[in-house]
Amino acid sequence: MSLKLKVLTKSLWVYHAGCSACNNCDIEILDALTPRYDVERFGIVVVGSIRHADVLLVTGVPNYKTKEELKGLYSQAPQPCLVIAIGNCACGRAMFKDSYNSPCAVDEIIPVDCYILGCPPKPEAIIAGVVKLIQKVGKK
């Protein structure tokens, strides 16, 4: 296992990218950060720059504008960069599948390592997804 992947099992620095989300997933992510659920106990820190992040957290449906921004963010992230798609919209476009302004899902733009389903997903589901991601990285 490379040193970078080993470090990721102890401390994940997360950058949040909202692709035209309705804000419900964002509220649940903030709820997971509160002391009640305390996702920070797994070493997760939300950072303000993609250049400092190990994980790209994506919510919402990519549209034509955010598709290019998402590609740019992923290319600027230090590699290996893990990607988490949160919510039904990010995972498979949900009700926006046939929308004129939704060209593709997140996994058609950048590689996704973890899908957390729900509309919106509860903090327990977010924590379970993060734990599974950490276990997945630990096995590599």
pLDDT at 59: 93
Residues of the chain with pLDDT under 50: 1
**Residue 64's domain is classified under what CATH number?**
3.40.50.12280
pLDDT at 8: 63
pLDDT at 2: 58
pTM, 2 dp: 0.88
The total number of structural domains in the chain stands at: 1
Q: What are phi and psi of 38, to 5 degrees?
A: 50, 65
Rounded to the nearest 5 percent, the helix, strand and coil shares of the chain are 45, 15, 40
3-state secondary structure of 46: strand
Domain that includes residue 60, residue range? 3-139
Whole-number mean pLDDT of the chain?
87
Structure-block tokens of residue 96: 């926006």
